[in-house]
Structure 1
Amino acid sequence: MVKVPISHPPLPPLESGDRLSRAEFERRYAAMPQLRKAELIEGVVYVASPLHAQAHGKPHGSIMTWLGVYSAATPGLGCYDAPTVRLDANNEPQPDAVLRWEQGGQSRISADDYIEGAPELIAEIAASSASYDLHDKLRVYQRNGVQEYLVWRTYNQAIDWFYLDQGVYQTLVPGANGIYRSQQFPGLWLAAERLLAHDLAAVLDVLQQGINTPEHQAFVKQL
């Protein structure tokens, strides 16, 4: 008797607006190796459009450089570029940048090499205040305990930085000199105006000032 191989119908592609479980989302995402970025937020799929160079690619690179320099000066921290993060059963975002404790923090690396749990800091590049980064994702990050959340709105030329206080995000206010200072990571300073002007050298100079403070040095000694 000749055995006829059983054929399985192809998996439907991921499309924005699909409502899926996290397991089904991952199954379909794995079947689309050509897809660069898709997220599951509150059970709804968001597939990213092609990314613009000036509106996304360049700001993304600047944020990664800023966080990367800080993590290099702060043992025990890991800086990640657009990693998949399994937050809960209905949420699997792919943030633009993540800063997390490598050991003893809120998140861990799973056996299949994904971040599970809430990283300490997430940064996103968003088009404007209408973006879901400042609405649905903000609520998801707040609920899951992401300690700090930074959004660079490239069309509005604005930085939004939130920190978690008793389970609710509060807006971080820059100092008189326009420098943001992280509540979670001593010495993580951001010269927002220089970042918006794409003056990365000045941004890193201010960051180095933060790294050189006694607060950061004491922080490193505690690690």
Structure 2
Amino acid sequence: MTWLGVYRAATPRVYSADNTTVRLDFDNEPQPDALLRLEEAVGGNSRISEDDYLEGAPELIVEIASSSASYDVHDKLQVYRRNGVREYLVWLVEDQEFRWYIWQEGTYHQQQGDESGVLKSPFFIGLWLDVSALLAGEMQQVLSVLNSGINSSEHQSFVEKLG
């Protein structure tokens, strides 16, 4: 996912991966389509194991699902919630819908866009998504909005905090 890769390139101590096995607990080892994680040294919840698996909950997971009836929308949502994944994004391709869940006080709340319809990560400051552009396949607009987030003073402050 180019969108996450661009953000990662502009944000030190943040890592991205795709189709990586994640050991969340003894019963769950999902392979999310994409993820972002913060380096453990600056407060991240996941780490690379001795046998090269990701262990613990990454801060953000993305799944691309065929429809709202998908396993990704129901079962995985509960697994990720129980394990404390802070942000869970699901792109429902057939339904032309994008959901961004935020973990708060042990439960997920679906985020609403701002007045322009842009979704903004509360954890990965500057990670902005123009959902309508994404659904329309307008990647230049998606990246333009992301670059606005990356160039924001809030993102610059976040980068400074990460060191």
TM-score range, shorter chain: over 0.9
Using the alignment, how far apart are the partners of 1:185 and 1:116 within structure 2? 20
Using the alignment, how far apart are the partners of 2:11 and 2:50 within structure 1? 25
Using the alignment, how far apart are the partners of 1:89 and 1:162 within structure 2? 24
Offset at residue 183 of structure 1 (A): 1.0
Alignment correspondent of 1:67: 4
Using the alignment, how far apart are the partners of 1:99 and 1:82 within structure 2? 12
Pick from 31, 37, 41 the counterpart of residue 100 of structure 1: 37
- Structure 1 length as normaliser, TM-score? 0.71
Offset at residue 102 of structure 1 (A): 2.3
Using the alignment, how far apart are the partners of 1:205 and 1:189 within structure 2? 10
Using the alignment, how far apart are the partners of 1:136 and 1:123 within structure 2? 14
Query: What SS does structure 2 have at the residue aligned with 1:134?
Result: coil
Matches within 5 A, 1:111-190: 111-190=50-129
Question: Post-superposition, which runs of at least 4 consecutive aligned residues in structure 1 deviate over 2 A?
Answer: none
Using the alignment, how far apart are the partners of 1:198 and 1:102 within structure 2? 31
Which 5+ residue runs of structure 1 have no aligned equivalent? 1-63
Using the alignment, how far apart are the partners of 2:38 and 2:122 within structure 1? 15
Using the alignment, how far apart are the partners of 1:177 and 1:116 within structure 2? 37
Amino acid at match of 2:151: N
Which 5+ residue runs of structure 2 have no aligned equivalent? none
Offset at residue 176 of structure 1 (A): 0.9
Alignment correspondent of 2:144: 205
| Alignment pair present for 1:87 and 2:27 | no
Query: What SS does structure 1 have at the residue aligned with 2:149?
Result: helix
Using the alignment, how far apart are the partners of 1:131 and 1:184 within structure 2? 26
Alignment coverage as a number of residue pairs: 160
Relative contact order higher in (CA < 8 Å, ≥ 6 apart): 2
Residue-by-residue CA offset, 1:133-184 (whole Å, 9 max, x unaligned)? 0101000000000000000000000000000111110111100101000011
- Please say which structure displays the higher CA radius of gyration: 1
- Structure 2 length as normaliser, TM-score? 0.97
Using the alignment, how far apart are the partners of 1:199 and 1:111 within structure 2? 40
Query: What SS does structure 2 have at the residue aligned with 1:111?
Result: coil
Alignment correspondent of 1:56: none
Query: What SS does structure 2 have at the residue aligned with 1:205?
Result: helix
Using the alignment, how far apart are the partners of 1:206 and 1:174 within structure 2? 13
